[in-house]
Amino acid sequence: NAGVTQTPKFRVLKTGQSMTLLCAQDMNHEYMYWYRQDPGMGLRLIHYSVGEGTTAKGEVPDGYNVSRLKKQNFLLGLESAAPSQTSVYFCASSYSQGSMNIQYFGAGTRLSVL
Amino acid sequence: GENVEQHPSTLSVQEGDSAVIKCTYSDSASNYFPWYKQELGKGPQLIIDIRSNVGEKKDQRIAVTLNKTAKHFSLHITETQPEDSAVYFCAAMDTGRRALTFGSGTRLQVQP
């Protein structure tokens, strides 16, 4: 049982390049999330999905796109990378029990945009 | 949307002492408040959570208290150990998005 797996673990991009981060979960969770983590700012929600084929914007969605074609996968795309997108990106998945939302996180992707 | 503030940003204690981290939230409709621990190079991991119909919850050396009237909740770690050193995040459920809003984190260092 791998939980939440993120690929790649590290990436360096030049300004203007594009890339896709992959998140895969094997827990049959309905909800999936993408966050970015910057020093002193905690985790900020980029986009999320409440089920296969659905996506929604979070707190900081500009410059990112997502897709959830399969329940177990949630992809985060950067169409034209900018230095401001240098960050550590975390994916999470969760099940929901009433008012609870227990999220399980991947190990993160460290992205540098030069 | 929800806004969560967390204090302090750093906390240093001696091994065996207690540590307290405090958070406030803005949305009175929020009803779920988890705490996550993040070790270096890893993703956050849930350590304890509390729902709004409960005032306090304990799990061995950690406890969380919630004051809905004042809209604040706290994490208490007793008998701290060096392995408690990590970054701790509080969060509140954003009932509109059904997603969590996180605080900015507290770096806890336990000195042996």
Residue A95 has pLDDT above 90, yes or no: no
Tell me which residue of A50, A45, A49 sits closest to A87, measured CA to CA: A45
B104–chain A nearest CA distance, Å: 4
DSSP secondary structure string for all residues of B8-27: -SEEEEETTS-EEEEEEES-
CA angle A36, B1, B51 (to 5 degrees): 90
Q: Classify burial at A35, counting beta carbons within 10 Å of its beta carbon; exposed 0-12, middle 13-18, buried 19 or more.
A: buried
Residue A32 has pLDDT above 80, yes or no: yes
Cα B46 to Cα B59: distance, rounded to the nearest angstrom = 12
pLDDT tens-digit readout, B17-26: 999 999 999 9
* b/e B5-37 (16+ beta carbons within 10 angstroms → b): ebeeeebebeeeeebbbbbbbebeebbbbbbbb
Cβ within 8 Å, pair A41-B42? no
Contacts of A98 (CB under 8 A, 6+ apart): none
Contact status of A4 with chain B (Cβ, < 8 Å): yes
Chain A residues with CB under 8 Å of B98 CB are 31, 50, 96, 101
Cβ within 8 Å, pair A105-B44? yes
CA angle A86, A79, A59 (to 5 degrees): 60
Confidence at A96, pLDDT banded by 50, 70, 90 = confident
pLDDT tens-digit readout, B40-95: 989 999 999 998 888 999 999 999 999 999 999 999 999 999 999 999 999 998 77
Residue A102 has pLDDT above 90, yes or no: no
Contacts of B94 (CB under 8 A, 6+ apart): B1, B2, B27, B30, B100, B101
Cα A59 to Cα B101: distance, rounded to the nearest angstrom = 9
User: Given the structure tokens 């997108």, which residue do they identify?
Assistant: A85
Cα B98 to Cα A19: distance, rounded to the nearest angstrom = 28
pLDDT tens-digit readout, A15-30: 999 999 999 999 999 9
**Bridge partner list, A52:** none
A111 vs B41, which has greater pLDDT?
Answer: A111
